[in-house]
Amino acid sequence: MKRHLPLWKISRSNSTRPVSLLLSTAILACLGIFSYAAQAQVNGIGQRPYLGWSTFSEQTINGNFLTQANIQAESDAMKASGLQDHGFTYINIDSGWMGSFDANGRPIPNSSTFPDIKALIDHIHENGQKAGIYWIPGIEQPAVDGNYPILNTPHHTQDIVAIPLAKGNAFAGNPPNPYHDKIDFTKPGAQEYINSVVALFASWGVDLIKLDGVAPGSYSDSVAIDDRPDVAAWSKAIAASGRHIWLTISWAIDQDYLSDFRPYQNARRIEDDIECEGRCGTLTNWQRIYQRFRDLPGWQNVASATQGWNDLDSLDIGDGSVDGLTNDEKRTALSIWALANAPIYLGGDLTKLDSFARQLLSNDEVIAVDQSGRPAKQVLGGEQPVWVSSLGQNTYYVALFNLNATPAIVQVPWNLIGVAGVTQVHDLWAHQDLISSTGMFSTFLKGHDVRLLKVRTHGNAAPPTSTSYEAEGATLGGSASIAQCAQCSGGEKVGNFGLGANNTVTFNNVWAPRAGIYLMQVDSMTQGLRAYLYRVNNGMFQTLNSGGGSFFIPASTTVPVRLQKGTNSIQFGSPVSYPSDLDRIVISGRGDFPEPSFQVYEAEVATLSGNAIGGFSNYSSGLAKTGNIGGGAGNAVTFENVTVARSGTYLLEVDYATSGTRSFFLSVNNGSPTELDLTGSTFDEPTYTVIRVNLNKGTNTLRFDNASGYAPDLDRVVVAPVLLDN
């Protein structure tokens, strides 16, 4: 079968519940090594996330890849690479292996591409590895039309189908011809049919099943596609098979139903595919990695050996430029997968595994982060997030990220993680002990880079004073409205705002005892990607990109915010796109938090002239970009309030989208334009370039146009200082 691509749906639903920033204090048996006393959630396995490889990423760029011979070669390549010495053992066969059905209506391989799947899996096992396979809930129409006898029962496949016919999973068509028909598990023979399918897989030696298109979730429009009985049936069938088989459910599971899925799964995909799947010229790109940073905070409190692991999808970091990521971006990607304790299964072609990937993936100190059983929490969000995992015994993993393409000095005060200071700092990527600091750690990071630390600490920091402001008590403008939300602070939230300059939520009474930089915790809720554009005291728009898996379970993200002494106003909305529903904000600190040195300017809220227009763009910052630039001198985007503290040369990150080559002409302060020839592979997802510009102290104007040709779409610009380390 062919896996269907997701269709993005835009929802204006309302919803969530605050996620605490408090860190776990569970004690480890040994530092950095989790003692797995608790049993796995199901099927006798799953105490720690698995490591391995999957076929699907390579399938997206090579339509002839999925064959028995190729997978055997990948198994051999994994063994020869040395990755098994570092825990990588799974070889997963994704969608496309099936050819027809056997005499009992069970899926069997395409005989031309998989002439002997058991021999293939035996070979995988002989290499010291485990084998995974892909299937979907429901039953395909040919298996129903054949009315096959269900193994060891008097029933037939037509006896177990829901009547009238209904969608069996998120990939199904519309009735009366869904093709993937729903199984009615109240009917005799239904559980036995799933038992027979799993028994067949087990007879081949399968060690992992990925059950795809599971709903509620997979961005399906309705809970009418309800695969909760299917997931329970597959788990029961695995138990009945007598074989220890890992069960992953996929993709973008709806978090509102996690409690129903939790007893039956070892892991669940929490978002869209990592692969571009033809929308770019590579396996993946930076925006797909950045998406994980946006979605993960909403899921960070529900991952463990007993609850199941958050699956971030394939990790495409092994095939050089084919991956679509720089080396720094690959290191960043592996770091967030490890901090999340996500299953790490590589994509691409292991026969072409490059030396840099081997270096990354053989770092046992980083693999230990993934295997620690202590998923990290985001304690600071925005473009320079900080993630922390408490290992007990005054030991933490701490990661500092720079998600901009411009280099930066990134800082973390130690009291942010609740400790008074540190006695030891160890860099896990560099394998170096660093000089410890008492109050703050500061590091230079290149664009899209990371510093991953293991620290020993002393003392506890006094919790900062904080004040909570409920969204339902704020001033609501335009369409913004209050809705019930059982898990929200105060039992209510605000939704239906954005998509217009007047549809806003404004907190008018935010108090600060002194002027300075405070921390603002934003408790919000969404499914998929959304974003706020917020303004403090009617100043410039600032961006908070978010994501999540529920409109009814709040997730917390904390960002620095500059407040004046006394009363402040903070307004949330999005003039041209979709913000998350809003529960509350919490302001904390003493006004002395380090201020980021960069500024972000969104194109959709710049001054647009001529045909230039801002609109929804799922992977763009602010969930919007500006298009129709160029093709005439008047079709332009002008940033009129680019402000810097002193005159000099600055770095300008330009995030843009184009298919092929197009050009911007950039004028700074009405000076002579500079031509920027830019290349991209898709208008759907932005890429970036970084240039140098000279700016004046105070306010500057940047204009992007193209009088003679069409320009790329423009997402945002980032202005940052030139650093000596750069």
**φ and ψ at 533, to 5 degrees?**
-110, 120
What per-residue confidence (pLDDT) applies to 15? 33
CA 297/CA 524 separation, integer angstroms: 11
What per-residue confidence (pLDDT) applies to 224? 83
Above 80 in pLDDT, residue 205?
A: yes
What's 488's domain CATH number?
Answer: 2.60.120.260
The mean pLDDT of 563-573, rounded to a whole number, is 98
The answer to the question of residue 151 being in a domain is no
Please state, for a pLDDT cut of 70, what percent of the chain lies above it.
Answer: 94
Are 501 and 412 contained in the same domain? no
Above 70 in pLDDT, residue 322?
A: yes
The answer to the question of residue 471 being in a domain is yes
Are 303 and 278 contained in the same domain? yes
Are 124 and 271 contained in the same domain? yes
Q: Which residues pair with 678 in a beta bridge?
A: 662
* Mean pLDDT, rounded, of the chain: 92
What per-residue confidence (pLDDT) applies to 278? 86
The answer to the question of residue 144 being in a domain is no
Above 80 in pLDDT, residue 391?
A: yes
The mean pLDDT of 471-475, rounded to a whole number, is 98
Indicate the residue among 532, 558, 588 that finishes a domain: 588
Span 57-83, pLDDT tens digits: 999 999 999 999 999 999 999 999 999
Are 86 and 214 contained in the same domain? yes
Above 50 in pLDDT, residue 39?
A: no
The H-or-E segment that residue 408 falls in is strand 408-413
Are 199 and 331 contained in the same domain? yes
pLDDT band at 25 (very low <50, low <70, confident <90, very high): very low
What's 259's domain CATH number?
Answer: 3.20.20.70
Q: What is the CA radius of gyration of the chain?
A: 26
Tokens representing 659 are 């298919």
Span 610-664, pLDDT tens digits: 999 999 999 999 999 999 999 998 999 999 999 999 999 999 999 999 999 999 9
The answer to the question of residue 222 being in a domain is yes
What per-residue confidence (pLDDT) applies to 21? 26
What per-residue confidence (pLDDT) applies to 10? 28
Are 534 and 675 contained in the same domain? no
Are 409 and 520 contained in the same domain? no
What's 452's domain CATH number?
Answer: 2.60.40.1180
Domain count for the chain: 4
pLDDT band at 436 (very low <50, low <70, confident <90, very high): confident
What per-residue confidence (pLDDT) applies to 219? 82
The answer to the question of residue 223 being in a domain is yes
Q: Helix or strand or coil: residue 718? A: strand
Please state, for a pLDDT cut of 90, what percent of the chain lies above it.
Answer: 90
Above 90 in pLDDT, residue 231?
A: yes
Q: Domain span at residue 433?
A: 379-460
Lowest mean pLDDT among 277-281, 333-337, 421-425: 277-281
Q: 51, 560 in Cβ contact below 8 A? A: no
More confident of the two residues 4 and 719: 719
What per-residue confidence (pLDDT) applies to 41? 53
What per-residue confidence (pLDDT) applies to 220? 77
Span 257-269, pLDDT tens digits: 999 999 999 999 9
Q: 401, 380 in Cβ contact below 8 A? A: no
Are 218 and 121 contained in the same domain? yes
What per-residue confidence (pLDDT) applies to 14? 33
Please classify residue 35 by burial: count the beta carbons closer than 10 Å to its beta carbon, then call 0-12 exposed, 13-18 middle and 19+ buried.
exposed
Amino acid at 455: V
pLDDT band at 725 (very low <50, low <70, confident <90, very high): low
What per-residue confidence (pLDDT) applies to 435? 87
Are 716 and 617 contained in the same domain? yes
Please classify residue 590 by burial: count the beta carbons closer than 10 Å to its beta carbon, then call 0-12 exposed, 13-18 middle and 19+ buried.
middle
Above 70 in pLDDT, residue 502?
A: yes
Are 109 and 222 contained in the same domain? yes
The answer to the question of residue 336 being in a domain is yes
Above 60 in pLDDT, residue 17?
A: no
Q: 517, 562 in Cβ contact below 8 A? A: yes
3-state DSSP of 694-706: EECCEEEEEEEEC
The answer to the question of residue 168 being in a domain is no
The mean pLDDT of 206-230, rounded to a whole number, is 91
Are 409 and 443 contained in the same domain? yes
Above 90 in pLDDT, residue 433?
A: yes
More confident of the two residues 1 and 388: 388
CA 610/CA 388 separation, integer angstroms: 47
pLDDT band at 156 (very low <50, low <70, confident <90, very high): very high
The mean pLDDT of 194-208, rounded to a whole number, is 98
End-to-end CA distance of the chain: 49
What per-residue confidence (pLDDT) applies to 223? 74
What per-residue confidence (pLDDT) applies to 438? 80
Above 60 in pLDDT, residue 6?
A: no
The answer to the question of residue 10 being in a domain is no
Span 44-55, pLDDT tens digits: 789 999 999 999
Above 80 in pLDDT, residue 27?
A: no
pLDDT band at 8 (very low <50, low <70, confident <90, very high): very low
Q: 305, 41 in Cβ contact below 8 A? A: yes
What per-residue confidence (pLDDT) applies to 18? 29
pLDDT band at 28 (very low <50, low <70, confident <90, very high): very low
Span 525-556, pLDDT tens digits: 999 999 999 999 999 999 999 999 999 999 99
206 vs 55, 106, 171, 242, CA distance in Å? Answer: 15, 15, 24, 12
Above 80 in pLDDT, residue 478?
A: yes
Lowest mean pLDDT among 43-57, 72-86, 192-206, 342-356: 43-57
Span 580-609, pLDDT tens digits: 999 999 999 999 999 999 999 999 999 999
In angstroms, how far is CA 688 from the centroid of its own chain? Answer: 19
Are 257 and 351 contained in the same domain? yes
